[in-house]
Amino acid sequence: MELTRKLSDAFNEQIKAEMWSSNLYLSMAVYFMDAGLDGCAHWMKKQAAEELEHVHRLIDYSVKRGGKPVVSPIDAVPAVWDSPQAVFEHVYKHECHVSALIDQLMDVAVAENDKATQEFLRWFVSEQVEEEESARDILDKFNVFGVHALYAINHDLGKR
């Protein structure tokens, strides 16, 4: 059974969202490079690469199932934040948003009665739990230690 048109289009929306996420994290990497926080920049570059992997995963699956993946233009991403903590607050908020998008995509797969796609999307559902948790862990350090946490966070994130 091929992907329905509705599901193929929904995949394309997610592909766009994941590409936007990759650019967002790359922009955050630039912000941290400018600020001399190379550990944070390294973490963001890895994050950007991971988002591109998600793009490829979605495209490969869509092709395999007879969908019509489209590589669309993507909107500009922010480039300025008030502070390093504000960047990670944005990461957390953004990942919660992506989790909601994945849930919506799963809803379409359920509505289209496509069990193979539901199985495929379970990986993304679990991945989002990890993504939210890693952002929240970093934020927790800021919340407990304030700006004093930055040195240690930068050091830790450089080891990713």
Judged by the rule CB under 6 A, the positions of this chain that interact with ligand FEO are 18, 21, 51, 54, 95, 98, 131
Measure the CA–CA gap between 66 and 142, rounded to whole angstroms.
46
Least spacing, CB of residue 21 vs ligand FEO, in Å:
5
Residue tagged 């700006």 (tokens): 147
Least spacing, CB of residue 88 vs ligand FEO, in Å:
13
Which residue's CB is nearer to ligand FEO, number 4 or number 12?
Answer: 12
Instruction: Give ∠ CA 117-122-125 in degrees, rounded to 5.
Output: 125
**Position with the least CB separation from ligand FEO:** 54
Least spacing, CB of residue 80 vs ligand FEO, in Å:
21
Which residue's CB is nearer to ligand FEO, number 2 or number 137?
Answer: 137
* Whether the Cβ atoms of residue 62 and residue 8 lie closer than 8 Å to each other: yes
Which residue's CB is nearer to ligand FEO, number 135 or number 150?
Answer: 135
Which residue's CB is nearer to ligand FEO, number 4 or number 29?
Answer: 29
